[in-house]
Amino acid sequence: MSWQPEDLRNIALVGHRGVGKTSLNEAMLHVSGAVQQLGSVDDGTAVADFEEQERERNISISPALCHVEHGGSKINIIDCPGYSEFYVDALYGLWAVENALLVMDAAAGVEVHTIKMYEAARDTGVSVIGVVNKLNAERADFDEAVASMNESLPDCEAVGVQLPIGQGEAFEGVVDLLAQKAFMGAGEETDIPAEMEDAVEEARERLIDAVAASDDDLMMQYFEEGTLSEDELIGGLKTAVAAGTLVPVLCTAATAETGITPLMDFVADVATSPADAAPRTGVEGEEEVELTADPDGPVALMVFKTLTDPYVGQMSLMRVVSGTVSADQDVYNPRSEERERLSSLGVNQARESENVEQLVAGDMGSAVRLDDTATGDTLAEQGSELEIPRPGAPDSMYAVAVTAASRADADKMSDALTRLTAEDMGLKYERNTETGELLLKGLGPMHLDVAVAKLQKQYDVDVQMSEPRVAYRETVRRAVRVQGRHKKQTGGRGQFGDVWIRVEPLPRGEGFEFVNEIKGGSVPTNYIPAVEKGIVQGMERGHLAGYPIVDMRVTLDDGSSHPVDSSDMAFQTAAGIALRNAMQQAQPVLLEPIMDVTVTGPEDIMGDIMSDLNSKRGKIIGTEQVGTMQAIKAQVPQSEMMRYAADLRSISQGRASYEMSFSHYEELPAHLTDQAIAEAKQREESDEE
Point out the least confidently predicted range of 87-101, 144-158, 210-224: 210-224
All structural domains of the chain, each given as residue ranges with its CATH number in brackets, are: 8-270 (3.40.50.300), 291-387 (2.40.30.10), 398-466 (3.30.70.870), 474-587 (3.30.230.10), 591-671 (3.30.70.240)
> Is pLDDT of 313 > 90?
no
Output 470 or 259, whichever has higher pLDDT. Answer: 259
- Please give the share of the chain, as a percent, with pLDDT higher than 90: 76
Give the burial string for 281-316 (b: 16+ CB within 10 Å, else e): ebeeeeeebebbbbbeebbbbbbbbbbbeeeeebbb
**What is the average pLDDT across 21-49?**
94
Give the burial string for 606-645 (b: 16+ CB within 10 Å, else e): beebbebbeebbbeeeeeeebbebbbbebbbbbbbbbebb
Point out the least confidently predicted range of 123-132, 227-236, 428-437, 450-459: 428-437
**What is the average pLDDT across 283-308?**
94
Sign of the dihedral through C-alpha 160, 162, 167, 168: negative
- Between the alpha carbon of residue 470 and those of residues 467, 593, 666, 685, the distances in Å are 9, 8, 13, 18
- Between the alpha carbon of residue 301 and those of residues 79, 342, 359, 381, 387, the distances in Å are 20, 11, 10, 10, 9
* 501 touches 484 (CB < 8 A): yes
Helix axes 230-243, 216-225, angle to 10 degrees: 150
Output 31 or 564, whichever has higher pLDDT. Answer: 31
* 470 touches 562 (CB < 8 A): no
- Side-chain half-sphere CA neighbours of 520 within 13 A: 6
What is the pTM (predicted TM-score) of this model?
Answer: 0.82
> pLDDT tens for residues 48-104?
988 878 888 888 888 999 999 999 999 999 999 998 889 999 999 999 999 999 999
CA distance 481 to 258: 81
**What is the average pLDDT across 455-478?**
92
CA distance 484 to 1: 82
Interior angle at CA 317, CA 329 and CA 40, nearest 5: 140
pLDDT confidence tier of residue 290, bands split at 50, 70 and 90: very high
Q: Other CB atoms closer than 10 Å to residue 202's CB: what's the count?
A: 11
pLDDT confidence tier of residue 269, bands split at 50, 70 and 90: very high
pLDDT confidence tier of residue 688, bands split at 50, 70 and 90: low
Pairing of strands 619-626, 629-637: antiparallel
Amino acid at 55: R
**What is the average pLDDT across 600-626?**
94
pLDDT confidence tier of residue 1, bands split at 50, 70 and 90: low
**What is the average pLDDT across 608-616?**
96
> pLDDT tens for residues 527-554?
999 999 999 999 999 989 989 999 999 9
Provide the mean pLDDT of the chain: 93
Question: Tell me, what's the pLDDT at 689?
Answer: 53
